[in-house]
Structure 1
Amino acid sequence: MEDCVLQDPNLKLAADSNQVLNYKRDQCNYITQLFGQQLPAIKNGFFNIHMTKGIIVQPHWHTNVTEMIVVISGEVLTSVFNPFTQRVMTYHLKPGQVSILPKGWFHWIIALTDHAYLLAIFDQPTPDIVFGSDFLRCIPKEVIARAYCVNEHEYAKAVAPIQESLILGPPPGCCIREESGCFQANERYPDMESLGALSGAGWHPAF
């Protein structure tokens, strides 16, 4: 099959993945991207993700892509909910290590160190993303109460701070100490084992 992109006389085979900002929490925690819109010849797509200790890529899932996490610097925990075993699988990754987040599986990532830098590489040029924050804030409280026997007024109060799609959390000012505009982890989760335990069964130490 002929590839029309490669036959374009204005073909580009290089691009700068730092130029397009996808999301910025603060100057230390942000995401840039390189997708098909920026480089039509690309056959995959990826995020550059920069995080400081304690920051989380909030729970979400993708409807059209499988994701591979590659750690460049720092250490992170990646967690994914396995719908077949009904278990959370969590991996502690160091530089050069990878984990796979299958298409449609709910997942999240927590930075264990400052200066964490990772690539989130997708198997399609552009991913669809469903954010957990949107799920929480948009489902009517009456539906939550009927579905799960949760007090609707308590639920509405609990999710009230979520006013928009959140990608890197927690939100600034969320009862967590901040200095110089950069996130400083508090003492609630003092070690990586505790962070792994937050994800339930299936935690694995570094390789």
Structure 2
Amino acid sequence: MIDSILQAPDLKLAADSNQVLNYKRDRFNYITQLFGPQLPAIQNGFFNIHMTKGIIVQPHWHTNVTEMIVVISGEVITSVFNPFTQRLMSYRLKPGQVSIFPKGWFHWIITESDHAYVLAIFDQPTPDIVFGSDFLRCIPKEVIGRAYCVNEQEYANAVAPIKESLILGPPPGCCQREEGGVITQV
């Protein structure tokens, strides 16, 4: 079968993956993307993820794609929950190393170096994403209390700061980290 996109007279086989900003936490922590709308001939899609130490790509899962992480620079820890074995699988990755997040598996990435650049490649041109932050903030406290015997008010207080989808976290000013005896806000 011949792809009609490849036969188009205005066929474009190159694009700038830095042009479309997907998410920006601050000037050092942001995500750009390249998907079908920017390059119709692409059969997959990807995010350029730039992060600094301690930043996390929030826990999430994809309903329709498998994701491959390629570390370009820096060092990260990728973690994925295996629903079949009920085990957490974590990998410390350096430049050139790769990990996979199978479709539907809960996963996240934590930056371990001052600056990291990660390429997240999907096996479809557009990923569906379910963010853990949305899942946590939208479950009624009464459901959590009944399902897990968790104190409803404590749960409500714990998730109260989550006001929107979080992609790169923690939110600015949210938590403190101690390094070398000095406490700083992230």
Normalising by the smaller structure, the TM-score range is: over 0.9
Deviation at 1:115, TM superposition (A): 1.4
SS in 2 for 1:6: helix
Q: Distance in 2 between matches of 1:97 and 1:175?
A: 30
Q: Distance in 2 between matches of 1:47 and 1:71?
A: 12
Counterpart check, 1:89 vs 2:81: no
SS in 1 for 2:121: strand
Q: Which residue of 2 aligns with 1:52?
A: 52
Deviation at 1:18, TM superposition (A): 0.2
Pick the structure with more strand per residue.
Answer: 2
Q: TM-score, normalised by structure 2?
A: 0.94
Deviation at 1:10, TM superposition (A): 1.1
Q: Which residue of 2 aligns with 1:71?
A: 71
Deviation at 1:77, TM superposition (A): 0.2
Q: Distance in 1 between matches of 2:77 and 2:179?
A: 17
- Tell me which amino acid in the other structure corresponds to 2:153: H
Q: Distance in 2 between matches of 1:136 and 1:115?
A: 29
Q: Distance in 1 between matches of 2:109 and 2:178?
A: 17
Deviations 1:104-132 (A, max 9, x none): 00000000001100100000001000000
- Tell me which amino acid in the other structure corresponds to 2:81: F
Q: Which residue of 1 aligns with 2:100?
A: 100
Q: Distance in 2 between matches of 1:69 and 1:24?
A: 19
Q: Which residue of 1 aligns with 2:171?
A: 171
Q: Which residue of 2 aligns with 1:186?
A: 178
Q: Which residue of 2 aligns with 1:125?
A: 125
Unaligned segments of structure 2, at least 5 residues: 181-186
Q: Distance in 2 between matches of 1:92 and 1:2?
A: 41
Q: Which residue of 1 aligns with 2:14?
A: 14
Deviation at 1:27, TM superposition (A): 0.4
Listed as ranges, the matches of 1:129-144 within 5 Å are: 129-144=129-144
Q: Which residue of 1 aligns with 2:184?
A: none
Deviations 1:33-59 (A, max 9, x none): 000111100011000000000100010
**Percent of aligned pairs sharing the same letter:** 86
Deviation at 1:9, TM superposition (A): 1.1
Deviations 1:65-102 (A, max 9, x none): 00000000000000000011100000000000000110
**RMSD of equivalent CA atoms:** 1.1
- Tell me which amino acid in the other structure corresponds to 1:19: Q
Q: Distance in 1 between matches of 2:106 and 2:47?
A: 18
Q: Distance in 1 between matches of 2:172 and 2:155?
A: 21
SS in 2 for 1:10: coil
Q: Distance in 1 between matches of 2:124 and 2:28?
A: 28
Q: Which residue of 2 aligns with 1:203?
A: none
Compared with structure 1, are the counterparts of its residues 47 and 186 closer, same or farther at alpha carbon in structure 2 (3 Å cutoff)?
farther
Structure with bigger RCO (C-alpha 8 Å, 6+ apart): 1
- Tell me which amino acid in the other structure corresponds to 2:175: C
Q: Distance in 2 between matches of 1:142 and 1:2?
A: 54
